Amino acid sequence: MLTTLRRGLDGVVTGLARLMLHVFFREVELLGSERLPRGVPLVIASNHANSVVDGVLLLALPGVRPRLLAKSTLWSHPFMRPLLVLAGALPVYRRQDPGVDMAGNLATFARCHEALAGGASIALFPEGTSHNEPHALPLKTGAARIVLEAEAVRGPLGVRIVPVGLSYEAKGRFRSKVRVSVGHPIDPAAEVARYGTQPGVAIRALTARIAFGLEEVTRVEGWPEERRSVIPSSAWGAFRVLLGIPVLLAAVVLNWIPYRVPGWVSDRLSTTPDEPATYKLLAGLLAFPLVWSAEVALAAHAAGALWGLAVAVAAPTSG
């Protein structure tokens, strides 16, 4: 019964994550999804440059539905705690967080081992912290330890580690683009074999392989500049531009308020460079549905049910 409930909740979480991404980003480009192994437990290891938004992107990966590891201090955030509980996320207790007892990681690691032994997947950020640097930080050893300990205690499990690179066009900008690059799976069999006699060597070797895998998927070229002609090249092109003007105006009218709200919230709450996108994501998730609902109600009240239905269709599709 519990497993069935968890599967249902995972479906809800995946749908919610994709909705949040649809609201925040203009485009999410997924590369290499065919590299995600099927039928084996996975450890998704990603770079960490955009706080909570990074986690939402991993939760939306197709066919994975991982348990997400997140810093324990997020559970004290009134908006984040319900989402973390819903997602079945696991807390990581970090040395740099005031008042945190790192002994709690023993229970978290045990739950990771249990999840992997049950064929589930986990997702984590080996850098250990979200940052605003243009390059990856040195990796912590937690990812390697989780895999090797799970194989030693509960194995053989056949765990595969999948590096995932997240590359943002402009990470703090609402309605920007993001690229999700899935790397080649890492088979830790060699390190698993060595772990029993040389655990330190095995952990360092596997951590180095994860770092190399992440480097491969985060070393991407810059975003190409979009080049659009502002002068129609034909009479038909000019006519199509004219036809699109009413649609553009409708989109502006219906979405201007919810588009501006996330930026307003972010400007007032963000304290570090990697926080704006998180606040914009959460604010947009609330602002767009609320404003759209109000617009539908106003249209239906002022002009009838058909106009309300028209606004209900137009608002989300033109955003």
The amino acid that residue 130 corresponds to is S
Structural contact between residues 121 and 135, judged by C-beta atoms closer than 8 angstroms: no
CA angle 294–299–304, rounded 5-degree value: 135
pLDDT score of 274:
61
Assess whether pLDDT exceeds 50 at residue 236.
no
Mean local confidence (pLDDT), 62-83? 90
| pTM for this model (two decimals) | 0.77
DSSP single-letter state for residue 76? G
Cα separation of 196 and 186, whole Å?
Answer: 19
Assess whether pLDDT exceeds 90 at residue 178.
yes
pLDDT score of 244:
47
Percent of the chain residues topping a pLDDT of 70: 82
Q: Quickly state the pLDDT bin for 249 (edges 50, 70, 90).
A: low
Class of domain 2-218 as given by CATH: alpha beta
Q: Quickly state the pLDDT bin for 130 (edges 50, 70, 90).
A: confident
Assess whether pLDDT exceeds 70 at residue 114.
yes
Which is more confident, 57 or 314?
57
Q: Which residues, including other chains, have CB under 8 Å from residue 108's CB and lie 6 or more apart?
A: 69, 90, 91, 92, 93
Average pLDDT for the chain: 83
Structural contact between residues 182 and 32, judged by C-beta atoms closer than 8 angstroms: yes
Q: Quickly state the pLDDT bin for 246 (edges 50, 70, 90).
A: low
Mean local confidence (pLDDT), 128-146? 88
Cα separation of 201 and 269, whole Å?
Answer: 44
Cα separation of 173 and 25, whole Å?
Answer: 9
pLDDT score of 31:
95
Structural contact between residues 263 and 174, judged by C-beta atoms closer than 8 angstroms: yes
Positive or negative torsion for Cα 60, 44, 141, 109: positive
Structural contact between residues 48 and 54, judged by C-beta atoms closer than 8 angstroms: yes
Where in the chain is CATH 3.40.1130.10?
Answer: 2-218
